[in-house]
Amino acid sequence: MGWRLALRPYVLIVPALLLTCGILYPFGLGLYYTLFDFSASKPQPDMVRFENYETVFTQEAFWNSAWVTVLYAVGAAAVETVLGVAVALLLHRSTIVGRVLEKILILPLMIAPVIAAIIWKLMLQPSVGVINYLLKPFGLGGVQWTDTPTGALLSSIAVDVWVYTPFVAILALAGLRSLPTSPFEAAAVDGAGWWYTFRRLTLPMLWPYVLVAVIFRFMDSLKVFDIIYALTEGGPGDSTVVLQIRAYLEAIRFQRYSFGISYTIVLWAVVYLAAMVLVKHLGKIQRKAAEVK
C-alpha cells in the first residue's frame, strides 16, 4: 500500500506532463534544426553546427532587432507601470467615480492584442483616422503616425500600453487592498503628509506586487509579436522589426527555417536570463517589504 500512496501524485500529474512533453518535443526538435541549414530551398539539410548562430550574431539586422526589442519592452513596461500604479492609487480612493470605473477597468485587457492593434491602426490612419481628425483644431492634422520610424515605435508601444495597463493596475490594486492599515493610521496620527506616506510606506510595501507585474510585462514585451504584426509589420524599413517579427520573416516568409528558429532560441535565452535576474531581485524586494510591514 505504501508505494501506491507514494506514487499517487505522480500518477495524477502524468497526463499534464505528457501534454507538456508534446510541447517539449517540438522545442527540442527546433533546437536540433538550428544545427542544420534547413530551408525551403534546401529540404535535405547538411549539418552546419553553430553556423546559424554565428550568422545571427554577426548580422547587423540582429543587433538592430535586439535594440528595437529592448526599446519596445523597456518603454512599454515603464509606461504601463507608472500609469497602472497611478490608476490603482486613484481607484483605491474608492470614490463613486472610482467604484463605477473599476468595473470596466478590465475591458481592454480582454481584447485580443491583434484586434487592439487593428483598432488603433484604423484610428491612426494619417488622412482618414479619427486621431488626426481630433488633432486638427490644434494644428496637428497630418501626423504620419506609423509611417515614420519613431512614430511607428511609439504607436506600437501605445497599443501595448492601452491593452496591458489594466493588468498592472489590477495587480497594484490587489496589492494596495492587502496592505496592513496600522502603519498608515500611525502615520496619520503623526501628521505625515500624503507624499511622505506614499514614499515611505505605500511604495515600499506595494513594490513586490508592482514588481511581479513589471516582470510579467517586461518578459511578455520582449517577445511581442501580434501587436507589431498587425500595426506595422516591422516597418517602415526595419524600425519596428522586433526579434519575433524577424524570426517570423526569416522562418515563414523567406522559409529559412533553421535560421529563423535560431533567432527565437536566442530570444528565449535572453528572456530566461532576464527572468532569472528579475526573480532574484524580487526575492530581495519581498524580504525588504516584509521588514517595513
Partner 1 sequence: MTIKKRLLGWLADAALILYFVFALFPIAWMVILSLKPTNELFSTYFSFSPTLDGYRTVLGDSEGIPFVRFFVNSLVVSLGAVALSLLVGLPAAYASARWRFKGSENLMFTLLSFRFAPELTVIIPLFVLYQKLGLFDTYVGMVWVLQLVTLPLIVWIMRSYFADLTPELEQAALLDGYSRKQAFFKVAIPLVKPGIAAVSLLAFIFAWNNFVFPLILTSNEAQTVTVGALSFLGGDRPKYNLTAAAALVSVVPPLLLALTIQRYLVRGLSFGAVKS
The verdict on 91 binding partner 1 (CB under 8 A) reads yes
CA atoms within 13 A on the CB side of 94: 4
Nearest to 227, CA basis, from 106, 68, 70, 121: 121
Encoded one letter per residue, x for contact with partner 1 by CB under 8 A and - for no contact, window 41-70 reads ------------------------------
Give Cα separations from 32 to 25, 38, 104, 234, 262 (angstroms): 10, 10, 46, 28, 10
The verdict on 228 binding partner 1 (CB under 8 A) reads no
- The three cell numbers of residue 99 are 467604484
- Select 75 or 166, whichever has its Cβ closest to partner 1: 166
Nearest distance in Å: CB 225, partner 1: 6
User: How many Å apart are CA 293 and CA 283, to the nearest integer?
Assistant: 16
CB atoms within 10 A of CB 248: 21
Nearest distance in Å: CB 154, partner 1: 15
State the amino acid at position 90 in one-letter form.
Answer: L
The verdict on 277 binding partner 1 (CB under 8 A) reads no
Nearest distance in Å: CB 10, partner 1: 7
Map the footprint of partner 1 across residues 165-194, applying CB under 8 A.
Answer: 165-167, 170-171, 174-175
Nearest distance in Å: CB 57, partner 1: 17
Single out the segment in contact with partner 1 by CB under 8 A; choices: 57-65, 73-81, 114-122, 137-145: 114-122
Nearest-Å Rg of the Cα atoms of the chain is 24
The verdict on 271 binding partner 1 (CB under 8 A) reads yes
